[in-house]
Amino acid sequence: MLEVKNLTKRYGEFWAVQNATISLNPGDIMGFIGSNGAGKTTTIKMLATLLEPTSGEAYLDGMSLNSDDLAVRRKIGYMPDFFGLYENIRVWEYLDMFATMYAVPKTERPGVIDQVLELVDLRFKKDAMAQSLSRGMQQRLCLARCLVHDPLLLLLDEPASGLDPRARAELKRLIAELGSMGKIVIVSSHILPELADFCSVV
């Protein structure tokens, strides 16, 4: 489970996040609501171990997120609000690169890549160039990248940003499915109705 206790980030006199406390179990999908600048991304970056908190504690599956232990990072999948795709790389190569970084055994990587592409409904684009995908498909590819190492916690920062209504509906279905698989999912947004359909916690 994820336990966050009094997580705080301060920049000089400015409190970006103050005493955030969260408790989530496998299968929980949490909608993280707040206006732009409210501290959602800062909180998510602290949980992703990309930003050191000023104070407070966070534990995932009994392991401190404040440690530099690589085993902690292997339990986390982080999808930022803005992400880049490398030029001249195919969809499967993009996923293979991240699977390699997460030490997925070479013999298992082809099967893992097929599984995550099937999950995000991109199997038919396996050999396509990543930059040729539509915005919605690129979002799903980024989500697939977060899944190659089978993390327990998924941190999705404004994942529906810039998507058309159909792509948003597909993303909602996918996030709900990830919750049913036993993942802990945190989805940030500043639009409450966007999260109301599939979140179990707000």
The mean per-residue pLDDT over the stretch 131-159 comes to: 92
Bigger pLDDT: 115 vs 34: 115
CA–CA separation, 200 and 26 (whole Å)? 11
Mean of pLDDT over the chain: 91
Closest CA to 113 of 71, 74, 156, 149: 149
Can you give the pTM of this predicted structure?
A: 0.92
Mean pLDDT value of segment 144-170: 89
Tell me the C-alpha to C-alpha distance, in Å, between residue 76 and each of 30, 134, 153.
Answer: 15, 26, 5
The CA distances from residue 186 to 2, 89, 105, 126, in Å, are: 11, 29, 28, 27
Q: What is the pLDDT of residues 65-109, one digit of tens each?
A: 987 678 898 999 999 988 778 889 999 999 999 999 999 999 999
pLDDT at residue 194, as a whole number: 74
Residues 11-57 have pLDDT tens digits of 999 999 999 999 999 999 999 998 888 999 999 999 999 999 999 99
* pLDDT at res. 166: 84
Contacts of 146 (CB under 8 A, 6+ apart): 77, 78, 79, 154
Residue 62 has pLDDT above 80, yes or no: yes
pLDDT at 190: 79
What is residue 167's predicted lDDT score, i.e. its pLDDT?
82
